[in-house]
Amino acid sequence: MATKKATKPKAKPAPKKEKTSFGSKVKSFIFKCIMWFVGLSVLTVIIFRFVPVFYTPLMIIRAVEHNEAGKDMVCSHEWVSLEDISLNLPKAVVASEDGRFLKHNGFDFSAMNKAFNSNLKGKKLKGGSTISQQTAKNVFLWQGRSYLRKGLEAYFTVLIELFWGKERIMEVYLNSIEMGDGVYGAEAASKHWFHKSAKNLTKYEAASIAAILPNPRKYKATNSSAYVERRKNKTLRVMKSVGKLEY
């Protein structure tokens, strides 16, 4: 008797892959970009916790501006450790720029509120930026007042407060801040204005440098205007109450 051959069951067709929509691709791309940005920014902040910051975006921007104006592309900068900077200068910038530097976590909301109310009254714009915020802006960002830049400034401020601490923030600030036209950092400024090392700055000289920080390309630390002289004297008075900076 003939036997029937067993028939193999027919293989089920592979399920069709659902087409990914254009919107999903865009969302996935944006998510990946954000994750890459967060990862790289955190890594950069951690590296700068230990490595000197020799160049900043502002230095490059100013050099380009000089070139476009037909001037020499000057960038005077020399990194020195915080222990090689006179204690008078950190006290002076705290007295002049950020009296609550050691107390806040990167943002001085009382100063920001005063600045906001001042603007509402139509008075001259007053900044509420802390030393931490200024450091974040100078090292990682560009100049400007857009919401994007301010948001990124807040983001990097949180990162440096978290990974650096106050002492490192002060060290980077004093080495990167613009202290004259094409002059950056305490050592270059000390040599430019007073022909000496930052380690030997007197209280008056430190106050003179701190007094010009709001507009270092316009104001002069020596042969100063009456306005800058008033700022110097005010800074000197406030320095007496700053006391020892315990980071």
Calculate the alpha carbon distances from 110 to 100, 107, 129, 152, 193 in Å: 10, 9, 11, 21, 34
Rounded distance between C-alpha atoms, residue 58 and residue 56, angstroms: 5
The model's confidence at residue 217, banded by pLDDT at 50, 70 and 90, is very high
pLDDT tens track for 38-85: 999 999 999 999 999 999 999 999 888 888 888 877 789 999 999 999
Q: Which domains does the chain have, with CATH numbers?
A: 38-68+81-241 (1.10.3810.10)
Once rounded to an integer, what is the mean pLDDT over residues 235-243? 93
Q: Among 21-25, 116-120, 191-195, whose mean pLDDT is lowest?
A: 116-120
pLDDT > 70: what percent of the chain?
Answer: 86
pLDDT tens track for 122-146: 655 555 789 999 999 999 998 878 8
Once rounded to an integer, what is the mean pLDDT over residues 175-198? 96
The model's confidence at residue 120, banded by pLDDT at 50, 70 and 90, is low
pLDDT of residue 25: 81
Q: Which residue, 152, 135, 156, is CA-closest to 56?
A: 135
